[in-house]
Amino acid sequence: MKQFRCLRCGLLALCLLPLASCGSSSGPGGGPTLKVFNWGDYIDPEVTALFTQETGIKVIYTMFDANEDMYTSIRASGGVSHDVVIPSDYMIRKMINEDMLRTIDLDNVPNYALIDDRFKNLDFDPQNEYSVPYMWGTVGIAYNTTMVDEPIDSWTALWDTRYQKNIFMMDSVRDSLGITLKMLGYSMNTKNGAELEEAYNKLVEQKPLVLAYIGDEVKDKMIAGEAALAVVYAGDAITISEQNPDIAYVIPREGSNLWVDSMCILKTSENPEAAEAFINFMCSTPIALRNWEYINYSSPQKEVIAQMPEELQNSSARNPSAEELARCEVFEDLSQTTQYYEDLWTRLIGA
């Protein structure tokens, strides 16, 4: 048996050796480099090459799956591994509080002027010292119009027994508890034990109706028509509906989460000038347009919003109305209460 296993490995190694030489050109050569840490699938793949072309700065680009994932990874790697990171609002607050971010000199980021004022002076960074908005969006319900009886406009649809085993929830404690809190009329940022307990009980009640708690794979699943309802980010809803026209998106009337992902520079960055140049580059209108078209999320750039085609101007997913946005809340850092949220989640999926 041992021989078989060894044989197969030896053979693989041999036949793949020639392949190993291809693409080995990207080793650490001369010239400055910039390390960017971003969400998966969250940039037009050609943009980093364009940046290198323009500035001569090489970009080492890595991805993470979740804010917490990114945070743990930076903590575990001592932070020296990155220059630019792109976390979301509440995580930015947490990182500011823990002194992990460096102030950005906006004089070096002239394109910051292109950012819409709605996305300046937000609670997580009131003085715009640490972050430059990259993308924003809402959380809502994507639903397959051929599988539901009437238009969806409330989170309560996710508790409707008619959709038993036809619902995808997000595999994330903040989002799932958050929308439940909203449905109950509470704040998504509550630290009130009784409110959280109530929301948790609601989720327990919902569990038999849920098909799965999943992450990004929800896009593929909804395109294929695996379920009627799914809690998704607005941008993902657009991606889904582009490939499956039966999908509609709604920001439920009880309100939802408004999130902003912003570019930040780590305190440990070895090349802050290059980091600022990169952020400025990302804010230039042609690049912002490219990324916006690739990612499908909403852009905080005045120019990009202005250039949006008419039919998208009125889309809840692309460009929610002021009235819709007024019902939305931005996540705050929960500090000590985070652990309690995590416990509730473990209880839910472990039960």
Partner 1 sequence: MKVLKNVYSGLIFLFLYAPIAVLIAFSFNAAKSRGTWGGFSFRWYESLAHNAEILHALRNTLIIALLSAAIATIIGTAAALGMHHMRRGLANFMLNVTYLPVLNPDIVTGISLLILYVFLGINLGFSSLLLAHITFNIPYVILSVSPRLKGMNRHIFEAALDLGAGPARAFFKVIVPEILPGIVNGFLLAVTLSIDDFVISFFTAGPGVSTLSITIYSMARKGIKPEINALSSIMFVVVLLLLLTVNIRTDRDVRRRAQNHMRSRSPRALSSRER
Partner 2 sequence: MSRRLRLTAAPYALYALVFIAAPLLLILYYSLTTGQGATLSLDNFRRFFDFNDTVYLRVLWRSLWIAGVSTAICFVLGYPMAYILSRMKARTRNIVSFLFILPMWMNFLLRTYAWMTLLERTGVINTALKSVGLPSLEIMYTTGAVILGNVYNFLPFMILPIYTSLTKIDRNLIEASEDLGAGRAVTFFRVIFPLSFPGIMSGLTMTFMPAVTTFIISKLLGGGQNALIGDLIEKQFKVAGDWGFGSAMSVILMVLILLSMNALSRYEKENAGGGLM
Binding residues for partner 1, rule: CB under 8 A, are: 2-3, 5-17, 19-20, 22-24, 26, 35, 37, 40-41, 60, 62-65, 73-74, 76-78, 80-82, 215-217, 219-220, 223-225, 243
For partner 1, the closer of residues 296 and 301 by Cβ is 296
Closer of 79 and 118 to partner 1 (Cβ): 79
Compute how many other C-beta atoms are within 10 angstroms of the C-beta atom of residue 202. Answer: 18
Q: Which does 127 bind (CB under 5 to 8 A by kind): partner 2, partner 1, none?
A: none
Reduced to 3 states, what is the DSSP secondary structure of residue 316?
coil
Q: Which is nearer to partner 2, 66 or 304 (CB)?
A: 66
The amino acid at 143 = Y
C-beta of 210: minimal distance to partner 1 in Å? 18
CB of 192 to partner 2, least distance (A): 21
Nearer CB in complex with partner 1: 5/322: 5
Amino acid at 134: Y
CB of 299 to partner 2, least distance (A): 29
Query: Which does residue 210 touch among partner 2, partner 1, none (CB within 5 to 8 A, set by kind)?
Result: partner 2
CB of 265 to partner 2, least distance (A): 23
Pick one of partner 1, partner 2, none as the site partner of residue 292 (Cβ within 5 to 8 A by kind): none
82 binds, among partner 2, partner 1, none (CB under 5 to 8 A by kind): partner 1
The listed partner (partner 2, partner 1, none) that binds 64, CB under 5 to 8 Å by sort, is partner 1
Q: Which does residue 80 touch among partner 2, partner 1, none (CB within 5 to 8 A, set by kind)?
A: partner 1
**Residues 304-324 as b or e (16 or more Cβ within 10 Å = b):** bbeebeeeeeebbbbbbeeeb
Residue 298: strand, helix, or coil: strand
List the beta strands (DSSP E) in 78-120.
Answer: 84-85, 101-102
**Minimum separation from the CB atom of position 79 to partner 1 (A):** 9
Q: Pick what 44 binds: partner 2, partner 1, none; C-beta below 5 to 8 Å, kind-dependent.
A: none
16 binds, among partner 1, partner 2, none (CB under 5 to 8 A by kind): partner 1
Provide, rounded to whole angstroms, the least separation between the CB of residue 350 and partner 2.
5
Q: Count of CB atoms within 10 A of residue 159's CB?
A: 16
Residue whose token pair is 């910051």: 112
User: Which residues, other chains included, contact 75 with Cβ-Cβ below 8 Å and sequence gap of 6+?
Assistant: none
What is the smallest separation between the CB atom of 349 and partner 2, expressed in angstroms?
4
Task: In whole angstroms, give the CA distance from residue 231 to residue 169.
Answer: 5
Binding site for partner 2 (CB under 8 A): 1-2, 4-5, 8, 12, 66, 68-69, 71-72, 75, 165, 171, 207, 210-214, 221, 224-226, 339, 342, 346-347, 349-351
Through-space distance between the first and last CA atoms of the chain, rounded to whole angstroms: 41
Cα dihedral value 107, 113, 119, 123, nearest 10 = 30
Q: Is the alpha carbon torsion for 112, 61, 124, 136 positive or negative?
A: positive
Cβ-in-10-Å burial (0-12, 13-18, 19+) of 52 comes to middle
Alpha-carbon gap, residue 212 to 173, rounded angstroms: 14
Paired strand residues for 139: 233
The least CB distance from residue 309 to partner 2, in Å, is 31
Q: H or E element: which one contains 260?
A: strand 258-266
